[in-house]
Amino acid sequence: MPRFTYPELPLDALLRRAAVRDPGGCAIRTASGSVTFAALDDRADRYAAYLEDRLGRRGARVGIANVLDADFAAAYYGTVRSGNTVVLVNPLIKETGLVHVCATAEVEVALVPRGTAELLVKAREQLPALAEIVVTDAPDGVVPADTVPLAAALARVPAAEDGPAGLGTGTADLDADACIQFTTGTTGLPRGVRLSHRNLVANAAQIARAHGLGSDSVILNHLPLYHVMHLNSAVYAGARQVLCTDPAPPAALGLAASSRATHFYGLPARLHQLAAAVGAGEEQGTGRPVPPAGLNLTAVLSGGTALAPAATRQLQDWLGVPVVQGYGMAELSPLAHSQDPEHPLTGSVGTPVAGTECRIVDLASRAPVDAFSTGEVQIRGPQVMTGYLGDDGPGAVDAEGWFSTGDVGYVTSDGVLFLVDRLGDLFKYDNELVSPTAVERIVADDPRVADCVVVGWPDSVHGAVVWAGIVLREATAPGLLDVLDSIVARANARLAPFEQIRRVEVIDSVPRTPVGKPERRGLRRDVRARAAAEGARPTGPLPPTPTDPRSEERAPW
């Protein structure tokens, strides 16, 4: 593998470098205005000075809610610049999850919006390390009791009089923790992932290279939260970021057109909505909608969970640009793979980003396997985390630097990765592994299905059979059973015998994580309890199917 190089700089120096190179250039544009690189860097200095004054030392942990706002970027880089560690706080999580994150990370200062601040005040007795709660969205200065408005906190220290003066900022130890990001917790309690300056800077360079980002790029960010993947890569490249807080996909496309965005980052759930709207016009005979005038996109980029191949093709055809998917996780800073924007292979997650190795190991023997053989995905590269917070046991990364992802997939002879499912989500029918994601992909391709989720229903003969929860596009109460029978028959004709749906129910919605992944843990508990109540009785033999189970429509992720 060719040697991959990236700047030997602390994380906050990426912003300082951008401010030196292009001080008057637009760094971030929001609905309220634009912020230049120099102004963003100055704001980061203010946060750094406040934290140095408040904490009086380096190495503390500062909780920051990653809202989609320019001030998050300033707080993020300012915390690192002060020699302290950012703990990313999801402002959408409830009190129990918030307490877990802040207590586990021993957060001492929290920079959070009012809603999160109120939860922290309520739970303060459970957070003995928490010394100060700063409310970031209180322009009138009115905040909950025992908290401080941001303006008052920053006013404690004088503003710097000089502009950017080189790159000697932050900590000299590039392997020190810069950020702690908690996992989504779909298979257990969220774990704190320790990411170093080196991890994050390397991955910023990898992402910029994989996605073709440069100083002339304009990035439309249509996410509910500010993901540091997009922040760091854009700042590394010196690109302009446009933040869209309107959840409606048409509004985001309109903003992309008016801002002349070159790259559109969106969640699969929102992109599915957009593709469905395009398809609905064709089905109803009214014609598909016309894309906004002035679109300048070179790619639409999606991640976090699967984007169905049908939706991918619909959007590519409609917008005339590639729809690119990637693969990563918090432990990988986060990106490990990306499709080639010039030649995206639908159904795959692409090849490893620069400086990254990928291999597949057998689930039982743990030995590497050949191309097209299914097993657990392992990753090695400079973006692999330094470890989990508070993990004193065996390291998650082996002695040779390989990280076991917990995902199951296979690699082609050309090094393209196809994902099958999460290791914890797979279940066995007899001795065959069933992938809920693969079954969901087939079910979701039915135009009558708005959403769906699959888990294993315990079975005393086969171990488990497929249970599918289906959200219908239209209410069809009079003929509900016939509609469900038709949907299941259509799906089963394309599924292998061991994958076939044996239990089906109409549900109101699919429980999902903030990034759109199905939340299967609660569903599994419910299904197991119901199966136990029924005595886990056998479901009988499955009908045969002539369909080859490996096809593009079934291709993972």
Q: What is the pLDDT of residues 471-520, one digit of tens each?
A: 998 876 667 888 999 999 999 999 989 999 999 999 999 988 766 778 89
Q: Which of 180, 208, 236 is the last residue of a domain?
A: 208
Phi, psi dihedrals of residue 241, rounded to the nearest 5°: -105, 135
Looking at the DSSP assignment, which residues form a beta bridge with residue 338? 326, 351
Task: Read off the pTM.
Answer: 0.83
Residue 549 has pLDDT above 70, yes or no: no
Q: Which of 208, 243, 276 is the last residue of a domain?
A: 208
Looking at the DSSP assignment, which residues form a beta bridge with residue 367? none
Domain shared by 126 and 80, yes or no: yes
- Taking the CA atoms of 157, 163, 168 and 173 in sequence, report the sign of the dihedral they define: positive
Domain shared by 397 and 465, yes or no: no
Indicate the burial class of 285 (C-beta count within 10 angstroms; 0-12, 13-18, 19 or more).
exposed
Domain shared by 65 and 77, yes or no: yes
Q: Which range, 158-162, 345-349, 477-481, is most confident?
A: 345-349
pLDDT for 477 equals: 62
Domain shared by 441 and 512, yes or no: yes
Element (H, E) at 458: strand 449-459
Q: Rounded CA gap, 30 and 292, in Å?
A: 20
- If you average pLDDT over residues 155-159, what whole number do you get? 84
Spell out the alpha helix ranges (H) of 378-519. 436-444, 480-492
Domain shared by 161 and 187, yes or no: yes
Q: How far is CA 460 from the centre of its chain?
A: 37
- If you average pLDDT over residues 258-264, what whole number do you get? 98
Evaluate whether residue 105 is within a structural domain: yes
Domain shared by 515 and 528, yes or no: yes
pLDDT for 533 equals: 87
Evaluate whether residue 294 is within a structural domain: no
Please name which of 515, 490, 514 lies closest in space to residue 500, comparing C-alpha atoms: 490
CATH of the domain at 68: 3.40.50.12780
Angle, helices 228-237/13-21, rounded to nearest 10 degrees: 40
State the pLDDT confidence band at 187, using cuts at 50, 70 and 90.
low
Q: CA angle, corner 363, sides to 358 and 364, nearest 5?
A: 135
pLDDT for 157 equals: 87
State the pLDDT confidence band at 550, using cuts at 50, 70 and 90.
very low
pLDDT for 521 equals: 86
Evaluate whether residue 218 is within a structural domain: no
Element (H, E) at 198: helix 197-211
pLDDT for 396 equals: 79
- If you average pLDDT over residues 175-185, what whole number do you get? 91
- If you average pLDDT over residues 527-556, what whole number do you get? 52
pLDDT for 303 equals: 85
Evaluate whether residue 365 is within a structural domain: yes
Evaluate whether residue 371 is within a structural domain: yes
Q: What is the DSSP letter of 47?
A: H
Residue 447 has pLDDT above 70, yes or no: yes
Least confident of 11-25, 159-173, 364-378: 159-173
CATH of the domain at 390: 2.30.38.10
Indicate the burial class of 394 (C-beta count within 10 angstroms; 0-12, 13-18, 19 or more).
exposed
Residue 203 has pLDDT above 90, yes or no: yes
Domains in the chain, number? 3
Q: Please give the share of the chain, as a percent, with pLDDT higher than 70.
A: 90
- If you average pLDDT over residues 168-194, what whole number do you get? 81
Q: In sequence order, what E strands does 307-350 have?
A: 323-328, 335-338
Q: CA angle, corner 494, sides to 510 and 432, nearest 5?
A: 80
Q: Rounded CA gap, 409 and 213, in Å?
A: 28
Domain shared by 539 and 464, yes or no: yes
Name residues whose C-beta falls within 8 Å of residue 128's C-beta, 6 or more positions apart in sequence. none
Q: Rounded CA gap, 457 and 215, in Å?
A: 52
Identify which has the larger pLDDT, 2 or 490: 490
Residue 548 has pLDDT above 50, yes or no: no
Residue 73 has pLDDT above 70, yes or no: yes
Q: Which of 208, 239, 254 is the last residue of a domain?
A: 208
Task: Identify whether 334 is preceded by a cis peptide bond (ω within 30 of 0).
Answer: yes
State the pLDDT confidence band at 552, using cuts at 50, 70 and 90.
very low
Domain shared by 505 and 545, yes or no: yes
- If you average pLDDT over residues 159-170, what whole number do you get? 55
What is the extent of the structural domain holding 40? 13-208
Residue 9 has pLDDT above 50, yes or no: yes
pLDDT for 394 equals: 57
- If you average pLDDT over residues 7-28, what whole number do you get? 98
Q: Rounded CA gap, 309 and 204, in Å?
A: 27
- If you average pLDDT over residues 99-123, what whole number do you get? 97
Average model confidence (pLDDT) across the chain = 89
State the pLDDT confidence band at 171, using cuts at 50, 70 and 90.
low
Determine contact, residues 209/48, Cβ cutoff 8 Å: no
In single-letter form, the type of residue at position 443 comes to V
Q: Rounded CA gap, 539 and 423, in Å?
A: 25
Domain shared by 431 and 414, yes or no: no
CATH of the domain at 492: 3.30.300.30
Residue 319 has pLDDT above 90, yes or no: yes
- If you average pLDDT over residues 217-237, what whole number do you get? 96
Helix (H, G, I), strand (E, B) or coil at 274: helix
Q: Rounded CA gap, 414 and 337, in Å?
A: 13
Residue 556 has pLDDT above 60, yes or no: no
- If you average pLDDT over residues 148-173, what whole number do you get? 73
State the pLDDT confidence band at 398, using cuts at 50, 70 and 90.
very high
Question: What pairing do the DSSP bridges indicate for beta strands 33-36 and 26-30?
Answer: antiparallel
Evaluate whether residue 120 is within a structural domain: yes
Domain shared by 408 and 443, yes or no: no
Evaluate whether residue 194 is within a structural domain: yes
Phi, psi dihedrals of residue 427, rounded to the nearest 5°: -140, 165
Domain shared by 413 and 538, yes or no: no
Residue 393 has pLDDT above 90, yes or no: no
Evaluate whether residue 188 is within a structural domain: yes
Domain shared by 398 and 544, yes or no: no
Q: Rounded CA gap, 337 and 348, in Å?
A: 10
